[in-house]
Amino acid sequence: MTSQLKLRAQSVDDIAVFSAVLQDAIFKVEDIHWNSSNKRLTAVCNRYCWEAKKRWFKRRPERVRCAFHFSGVLKAERMGITTKNNPEVLNLLALEAKLQDGESAEIVLTFSGGPSIRLHVECIEGVLSDVSKSWDALSEPKHVLS
């Protein structure tokens, strides 16, 4: 079992850490929510535990339930994702952040197959926490270059 992660993002470099930790996380579309009045995007996913793979004695891959949110979200744009009664499952490839003018930034969540979510934020402010014990994953994610 992996130890539970708790991370905070306040910079572009921190978003790169979030991206590494969340690579190959599996999301149900219904588990991603943007609350415009609270300016917050929240999501829950099954995170692949890449850090557990580094242990020489670990024989099986693991996943863990993970929650994260971004505060100060002024606008959230979905590309290739519908939210109404969507049973689709998304596989996260990467998160990227770009600073705009001042402290504002753009954070993009890119999923396999092309869907993405673009967040326009007042400043980079994110929190990520594992919220369950890990379990044996059915398989290890495979990346195919085309």
Q: How far apart are CA 140 and CA 24, in angstroms?
A: 9
Residue 102, in any domain of the structure: yes
Q: Specify the amino acid at residue 42.
A: T
Residue 1, in any domain of the structure: no
DSSP state of 39: T
Paired with 67 in beta bridges are: 44, 129
**Structural contact between residues 129 and 123, judged by C-beta atoms closer than 8 angstroms:** no
Residue 141, in any domain of the structure: no
pLDDT digit string (tens) for 60-72?
789 999 999 999 9
The pLDDT assigned to 72 comes to 97
Task: Please count the structural domains in the chain.
Answer: 1
Residue 30, in any domain of the structure: yes
Q: How far apart are CA 35 and CA 113, in angstroms?
A: 26
The pLDDT assigned to 61 comes to 83
Task: Note down the domain range covering 97.
Answer: 6-136
**Structural contact between residues 104 and 12, judged by C-beta atoms closer than 8 angstroms:** no
Q: How far apart are CA 105 and CA 55, in angstroms?
A: 36
Residue 132, in any domain of the structure: yes
Element (H, E) at 65: strand 62-71
pLDDT digit string (tens) for 77-135?
999 998 777 778 999 999 999 999 888 999 999 999 999 999 999 999 999 999 999 99
Residue 146, in any domain of the structure: no
Residue 98, number of CB atoms within 10 A of its CB:
10
Residue 143, in any domain of the structure: no
